[in-house]
C-alpha cells in the first residue's frame, strides 16, 4: 500500500511513521512526501531516508483547488492509496476530500471534539482542563470533525508547563498515528 505523507514543518510524526515502517510493523510504504514549505525540517527527514518529495508552493496557483488538482494528479500517477496529514498546515478543499474520500487521515493534538483548530494544545492548557489528548480521524469537508479512528487521553499534570504538556502529547502522537494508519489500511484492503 502506497502512502503519501503531507508535512509543512518539523515532521516528527512523519519520522515516527518512517521508523515504524523500517521495523516492518506496517504493511505499507511512504511513496511520497508532499510539502508546501521549502523551509520545513521534514524535507531533511525525507532526504535522509530517500523518500521522494513533492514540494509545490501554493502561491504559484490562482486558487486552492488549482493547487490541489496538480497534487491529486501526482498522487494518482504514483498509485497512492492513502494520504496521511502530518502537520500539514493547509485546509483541504472538498475537491481533494472527494478525490480521496475515506482515505485521508489527520492527527490532531486534543481529545476531539474538544479544542478544534490550530492551537489545540495551548487552548487546552489555558483552559486548565485535567485531561486533553490526541485524536486521529478521517478527513471530511468539516474541519477536525471527521470520523474518529483512534483517540488517547493525556492527563494535564499539576506541574505541567505548556512545553512539558506538548512534549507528552507529541510522544503519544508518535505511537498513536502508526497504529491508526494500520487500522485504516486493514479496514480498507
Ligand atoms: C502535531 O502536533 C499534529 O498533531 C498537528 O501538527 C503537529 C505536527 O508536528 N496536526 P510534526 O510536524 O509532526 O512534528
> Which residue has a Cα nearest atom 6 of ligand 1?
87
Question: Could you identify the atom of ligand 1 that is nearest to the CA of residue 85?
Answer: 10
Distance CA 96, CA 23 (A): 31
Question: Which atom of ligand 1 is nearest to 108's Cα?
Answer: 4
Ligand 1 centre to CA of 76 (Å) is 25
Q: pLDDT-based confidence at 29, cuts 50/70/90?
A: very high
In this model, does residue 187 exceed pLDDT 90?
Answer: no
CA of 106, closest atom in ligand 1: 10
Grid cell 505541567 is found at: 160
* pLDDT at position 24: 84
* Mean pLDDT on 150-170: 98
pLDDT of residue 87: 97
Average pLDDT over residues 130-155: 97
- Whole-number Å distance, alpha carbon 89 to ligand 1 midpoint, is 9
The number of helices, as runs of H, and strands, as runs of E, in the chain is 6, 7
CA 12 vs CA 46, 95, 170: distances in Å:
11, 28, 8
Indicate the top mutation candidate among 14, 15, 109 to test ligand 1's pocket, ranked by most ligand atoms within 8 A of CB.
109
Name the closest-CA residue to atom 5, ligand 1.
87
Query: What is the whole-number distance in angstroms between the Cα of residue 61 and the centre of ligand 1?
Result: 25
- pLDDT in the model for residue 189: 67
Given a cut of 70, is residue 33 above it in pLDDT?
Answer: yes
Q: Of all residues in the chain, what percent carry a pLDDT higher than 70?
A: 99
**Residues within a 6 A CB radius of ligand 1:** 7, 9-14, 86-87, 107-109, 173
CA of 87 to the centre of ligand 1 (A): 4
Per the annotation, the verdict on 119 as an active-site residue is no
Ligand 1 atom nearest to 170, measured from its CA: 2
Report how far ligand 1's centroid is from the alpha carbon of 31 (Å).
Answer: 20
Q: Which helix (H) or strand (E) holds 72?
A: helix 64-77
Q: What is the arithmetic mean of pLDDT over 33-55?
A: 98
Calculate what percentage of the chain has a pLDDT beyond 90: 95
What CA–CA distances, in Å, run from 75 to 6, 32, 149, 163?
Answer: 11, 8, 23, 36
Domains observed in the chain: 2-188 (3.40.50.170)
Q: What gap in Å lies between CA 103 and CA 6, rounded to an integer?
A: 13
Q: What is the mean pLDDT of the chain?
A: 96
Amino acid at each position: 500500500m502506497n502512502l503519501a505523507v503531507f508535512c509543512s514543518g518539523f515532521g516528527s510524526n512523519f519520522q515516527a511513521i518512517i521508523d515504524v515502517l523500517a521495523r516492518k510493523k506496517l504493511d505499507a510504504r511512504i511513496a511520497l512526501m508532499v510539502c508546501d514549505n521549502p523551509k520545513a525540517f521534514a524535507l531533511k527527514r525525507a532526504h535522509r531516508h530517500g523518500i521522494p518529495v513533492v514540494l509545490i508552493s501554493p502561491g504559484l496557483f490562482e486558487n486552492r483547488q488549482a493547487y490541489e488538482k496538480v497534487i491529486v494528479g501526482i498522487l494518482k500517477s504514483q498509485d497512492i492509496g492513502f494520504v496521511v496529514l502530518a502537520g500539514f498546515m493547509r485546509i483541504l478543499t472538498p475537491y481533494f476530500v472527494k478525490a480521496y474520500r475515506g482515505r485521508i487521515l489527520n492527527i490532531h493534538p486534543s481529545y476531539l471534539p474538544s479544542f478544534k483548530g490550530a492551537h489545540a494544545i495551548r487552548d487546552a492548557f489555558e483552559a486548565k482542563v485535567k485531561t486533553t489528548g490526541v485524536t486521529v480521524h478521517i478527513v471530511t469537508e468539516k474541519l477536525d470533525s471527521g470520523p474518529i479512528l483512534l483517540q488517547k487521553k493525556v492527563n494535564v499534570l499539576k506541574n505541567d508547563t505548556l512545553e512539558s504538556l506538548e512534549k507528552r502529547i507529541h510522544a503519544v502522537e508518535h505511537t498513536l498515528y502508526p497504529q491508526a494508519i494500520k487500522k485504516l489500511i486493514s479496514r480498507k484492503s
